[in-house]
Structures are given as structure tokens and as C-alpha cells.
Amino acid sequence: MEALLTSTLSVAIAEIGDKTQLLALLLICRFKKPWPIIAGMLAATVLNHACAAWLGEMISRWLDPKLLTYLVAGAFIAMAIWILVPDKMDDEESPLDRFGPFVATFILFFIAEIGDKTQIATVLLAAKYDAFFQVIAGTTLGMMLANVPVVLLGKLGADRLPMRLIRASCALLFTLLGVSTLLLS
């Protein structure tokens, strides 16, 4: 249960202000069809995070447990620093738009998540916890908790969020994950 809750909370907070939220906003403005966009986000996230969790589990099996502890802790702290840098995204039209909202969302979200903070967090969480499905479920739930409201509400109130405070809180969370990994392992 710890893996599920930590994964959900970590990704939901890390996702606020992330480029995939900007992508979700862009897609709802283009297509104005929330349910295919949400379905595309869900499918892309499950596939992307399953690959990331698999990689995290493989890494945890290959590396010495003590070295893995230091690497995971250091990576969580590096994530905390990375989160403090705001994401930006171009507002260009995509040639994928012609395939409709589900396919465009699936492809764009999958690609946007490659090397993204939440994908790397999924690798780290899977390496930290021996709970493959809980990590995937948690990180996917976190992504959906952060992105579905953006799709459903569109531009309403998005500019009013205290992004500095949100980024600082998320950075603190990842720092705490890094320190707790060192202290509790």
C-alpha cells in the first residue's frame, strides 16, 4: 500500500505545471472532446509507466542493494532540483491531429513522457519498492489526478495556481523521499 500511495502522491504533485498538463490543455483546446483525450492519456500513461517500472525493477535486480539505495536516494534529490525548473511547450499544431483526439493524445502523451520527471520517478519508485503493479497503478493514478481536471476544466483557473509553492512542495517531497531512502534502507 505504501508503494501505491507514495507513487500516486509523488506523481500527482510532480505533474502540476508539467509539460503533459500543458499538452492536455492544448489537446482539449484543439479537439474539445474530453473523453477520447482522457482515454488516450490513460492508455499512453499505463504503457509508458509499465515500461518505466519494468526498467526500475530490472535495475534493482542488477545492482548491489547498497549502491542502489545511494543511487535511488541521489536520483530522488536530483528530481527535487529538476522539479524547480518550470516546463514550457510550444503551441504548434501536430500532424497527428488528423488521426483524431484518442490517437493524437496517445502518441503525444507517450512521447512527452519519455525522459519526463514522472517517467523517471516511476523508474525510481519501481527500483525502491518491490511492487511493480502498485507502482504502475499509483503513478498512473497520479497522472490522471493531475491531468483529467485540466482536460475537464480547460483554461478555467489554471493561471491562478501558485506554481512556485507547488514546485517547492513537490521538490520537498522528492527530497524527503531521497532522505528517507537513505535513512530507512
User: Cα–Cα distance between 68 and 59 in angstroms, integer?
Assistant: 8
Residue 118: the pLDDT is 87
Nearest one of 27, 30, 25 to 146, comparing CA atoms: 25
Whether 75 shows a pLDDT value over 80: the answer reads: no
Contact by Cβ (8 Å): 6, 166: no
Residue 83: the pLDDT is 64
- How sure is the predictor about 157, in pLDDT bands with cuts at 50, 70 and 90? low
- How sure is the predictor about 158, in pLDDT bands with cuts at 50, 70 and 90? very low
Whether 115 shows a pLDDT value over 90: the answer reads: no
- How sure is the predictor about 132, in pLDDT bands with cuts at 50, 70 and 90? very high
- Give 105-126 as a 3 state SS string: HHHHHHHHHCCCHHHHHHHHHH
Segment of 5-14, 68-77, 83-92, 171-180 carrying the highest mean pLDDT: 5-14
C-alpha cell at 62: 542488477
Look up the pTM and report it: 0.73
> Amino acid identity, residue 160?
R
Whether 91 shows a pLDDT value over 80: the answer reads: no
Helix or strand run (H / E) with residue 99? none
Whether 35 shows a pLDDT value over 70: the answer reads: yes
Residue 153: the pLDDT is 85
Residue 19: the pLDDT is 74
Contact by Cβ (8 Å): 150, 24: yes
- The arithmetic mean of pLDDT across residues 52-59, rounded, is 90
Residue 69: the pLDDT is 78
How far is the CA of 110 from the CAs of 34, 89, 107, 116, 125, in angstroms? 18, 15, 5, 10, 19
Nearest one of 43, 150, 44 to 89, comparing CA atoms: 150
